[in-house]
Amino acid sequence: MKTSAPERERVVGSKVTRVDAVEKVTGLAKYAPDIYFDRMVHCALVIARKPHGILHKIDASRAQKLPGVFGIFTYKDVPGKNRLGEVVDDMPCLVAEGETVKHYGDVVAVVAASTQKTAEEAARKVRLTIEELPAVLDIEEARRDEIRIHGSSNVSVHKKIRKGDVSKGFSRADLIIEDNFMASYQEHAYIEPQGVVVLPDTDYGMTVYGSIQCPYYVQSSLSKVLGFPMSKVRIIQAETGGAFGGKEDVPSFVASYAAVAAYNLKRPARLIYPREIDIHTTSKRHPVKSRYKMGFSKDGEILAIEVDAYMDMGAYATLSPVVMFRTLVHAAGAYSVDNVSVDTYGVYTNKVPPGAFRGFGSPQVLFAVESMVDEASRRLGIDPVDMRMKNALREGSRTSTDQLLTESVGAVETLDKVNELSNWKELNERVEAFNRGSLFQKRGVGLSHIIYGVSLGAQGQHIDKSGAHVQINRDGSVDVRIGGTEMGQGAKTVMAIIAAEELGQKLSQIVVHQTDTAFVPDSGPTVASRTTMFSGNAVRIACKSLRERLVKLYAELNSCSEDEVELHDGMISCGQDKGMPFDELIEEAFKKNVKMFEAGWYQSPVLEWDPESGIGQAYITYSFASQVVVVEVDMITGNTKVLEAYTVHDVGKAINPEGVIGQIQGGFVQGMGYALSEDLKMLNGRILTDNFNTYIIPTIRDIPRVFKYGIVEDEFSEGPYGAKGIGEPSLMATPPAIANAISRAIGRRIRHIPATPEYVLNVIKEDAE
């Protein structure tokens, strides 16, 4: 769809109040734990608590005897297929006796009881007899294949890019740098843990209310586990207290466990995770170990790049193969390079399966590649901004997968703007002056420049579509239903803005409903920073049809030309006439039996892609960002503080500027936690940091005192009003900017994130490199 921009947009781009703000600020918003039904039972999970072993026996006899226990359900009670997994279904719903448990958080049984407390107590009384097997606990061990977790090789997924000839590129290089990097886990730490309520419904099927990012995933998963047709499974998203990818595929599992209880008891079943169960059993950001080799000319041109990256998939593949596609495409960074070779591998280990997390496999490699570019600029004596500028993508450039960029390439503009915003030259002088006068505190300035492929890309294009349903009621109120979900990012507000813009109704009269699979067809997942573009286009298309009908009707009623009819802020007018309130025109439309509902549908343009060579159109378009941070490192303790941050994002078009800014700020701070403090510690495959007392996410005290942002709007013709995506890139620029700043401050390269005080201190103490 080519979106011919309207002559002037009046709601798009303006400051509006979040449409869901009042319910949230008063505490009336209903999240999964706030939804109650008569005769509802409370569930708790029994997990393996061993990293690897054969499950010989599940003994629930002691637990059964507790007063208030209604049932303890195992693999024997799963009515349909005992399998889970959105991309690869290699995971049991409930591990069967005689089968192996493959990580600490493997789920074995579901307990249902009259209260949450009783359910939790009973879960603790279920005895599992597990014959322990040696466990595979890191990537290197997994690669040796001495213990094969799924029978075949642990290295089970491989993707590659072969562009140009890297050996030729290296032979021409004046400088070749090789290095190894490790990016560790990150826990989503949404403040609302996972939770669902599943109930047998009035359509003789099951309805789920839950904290859910991707309702259609839950629907298809539940239909398999229950053995129900999809038409008998309805998913209604409750308010969702943060997700960040952590509620992409996981709620399918959570809902499946609860559904087994609901099915067997024929009662509503609620399963709300305690934080510890959430951290032990649910996805994380993948640990990625990478080796980089890059060749540069002496004036800073990148001539060749070679990358191997190994991702720890944990015990089950879940979403890893698709996460790896994004790792692959982003591994060579945001630059125009003729010779590129990238190999990414997914390996099984006996640990919690990582999955989707804001950035989806790209932050790990962007940290590495931006560290490499920073190191090259240091060694070549080239200013870091100039270094990026020299290699940056422009209209007419080709990406690392040889995709020709023809429009909406705001990369250079983000660099220019961050240079200006941070007062780059003066900032560096200021920091140098500080360092001359300070022995134990050292400051550093770090720069990053990143690319983000918008939406699902070539390997996900078969599910890259979205529907919407828009209906105008007789009183003029408007129902907007989308297949994307609101999880805090502001999707509802963006959809309301688009509907108000197109229909001319007041924003306050537009209701964007909770996502419900009964109303809108499968719209793909709410991931990949795709909702503004995909759901947004679908809403816009539906509203345009309704608008045409309203314009025609008004022109007929007032004998004027359709071209002159204007709709805005609840009024419809033509030329100089006094106009008519929107609601009155709707009343006229109802009297004349005009159809006042429409479906909208938008699908991805077709992308040409060769998976053998990794060459082709990887994504429909790209967002870009550039970021500068100033850190101060305590050379005695290794502790790092971020003092200043400047970040500039090319978003195509900011439909809701306040929402874009919220993403930029929130993504930065989440990226800062990843870079510095969020250290997921494990012992024998068991996560030790299983709550917020040990897993440390940033507080209001940790944020930089100076925090400036800039927005570049290099419009994308396929996006609604030119919009691309901002959800993920907001985070992705931060880890490399911080790592580079620390490296500059201490004069040694940071090769591991999180760069905890212990790690930084070790690097400071290392002998010369």
Partner 1 sequence: MNKHPISFTLNGKTVKTQVEARTTLLRALRDLGVLSVKRGCEEGECGTCTVLIDGITQKSCLVLAMEVEGRTVTTCEGLLAPDGELHPIQQAFIDEGAIQCGYCTPGMVMATYALLERSPDPADEEIRAALAGNLCRCTGYVSIFRAVKKAAELMKRPEGAGKR
Using CB under 8 A, list all residues that contact partner 1: 17-18, 20-31, 33-34, 117, 188-193, 239-244, 272, 274-275, 487-490, 658-659, 661-662, 665-670, 691-693, 697-701, 703, 707
Residue among 51 and 193 whose Cβ is closer to partner 1 = 193
Residue among 28 and 433 whose Cβ is closer to partner 1 = 28
What are the structure tokens assigned to 135, written together? 């466990």
Residue partners of 102: CB distance under 8 A and separation at least 6 = 51, 52, 149, 315, 316, 350
How far apart are alpha carbons 692 and 638 in whole angstroms?
22
How far apart are alpha carbons 444 and 432 in whole angstroms?
8
Residue among 200 and 274 whose Cβ is closer to partner 1 = 274
- Residue 352 CB, shortest distance to partner 1, in Å, is 19
Residue among 318 and 493 whose Cβ is closer to partner 1 = 493
Task: Give the number of other CB atoms < 10 A from CB of residue 282.
Answer: 25
Residue among 246 and 579 whose Cβ is closer to partner 1 = 246
| Exposed e or buried b per residue across 585-615, where buried means at least 16 C-beta atoms within 10 angstroms of its C-beta | bbeebeeeebebebbbbbbbeebebeeeebb
How far apart are alpha carbons 529 and 728 in whole angstroms?
6
How far apart are alpha carbons 354 and 339 in whole angstroms?
31
Residue among 221 and 656 whose Cβ is closer to partner 1 = 656
- Residue 691 CB, shortest distance to partner 1, in Å, is 5
How far apart are alpha carbons 670 and 474 in whole angstroms?
44
Say which DSSP state 301 is in: -
Instruction: Say whether the peptide bond before residue 754 is cis (omega within 30 degrees of 0).
Output: yes
- Residue 44 CB, shortest distance to partner 1, in Å, is 14
At 492 the three-state DSSP class reads helix
- Residue 661 CB, shortest distance to partner 1, in Å, is 7
- Residue 741 CB, shortest distance to partner 1, in Å, is 18
57 exposure class (CB count in 10 Å sphere: 0-12, 13-18, 19+): exposed
User: Distance of alpha carbon 242 from its chain centroid, rounded?
Assistant: 11
- Residue 21 CB, shortest distance to partner 1, in Å, is 4
- Residue 654 CB, shortest distance to partner 1, in Å, is 13
Across 635-721, the runs of DSSP E, i.e. the strands, are: 640-650, 682-683, 686-687, 706-712
- Residue 233 CB, shortest distance to partner 1, in Å, is 25
- Residue 689 CB, shortest distance to partner 1, in Å, is 12
- Residue 670 CB, shortest distance to partner 1, in Å, is 7
Residue among 240 and 531 whose Cβ is closer to partner 1 = 240
Residue among 271 and 607 whose Cβ is closer to partner 1 = 271
Q: What is the number of residues in the chain?
A: 769
431, 540, 596 from 16: Cα distances, Å: 39, 18, 26
How far apart are alpha carbons 206 and 210 in whole angstroms?
13
Say which DSSP state 286 is in: P
Q: How far apart are the first and last CA of the chain?
A: 54
Residue among 17 and 129 whose Cβ is closer to partner 1 = 17
How far apart are alpha carbons 730 and 186 in whole angstroms?
16
- Residue 34 CB, shortest distance to partner 1, in Å, is 5
How far apart are alpha carbons 564 and 421 in whole angstroms?
43
- Residue 198 CB, shortest distance to partner 1, in Å, is 19
How far apart are alpha carbons 215 and 221 in whole angstroms?
10
Residue among 117 and 124 whose Cβ is closer to partner 1 = 117
How far apart are alpha carbons 680 and 75 in whole angstroms?
31
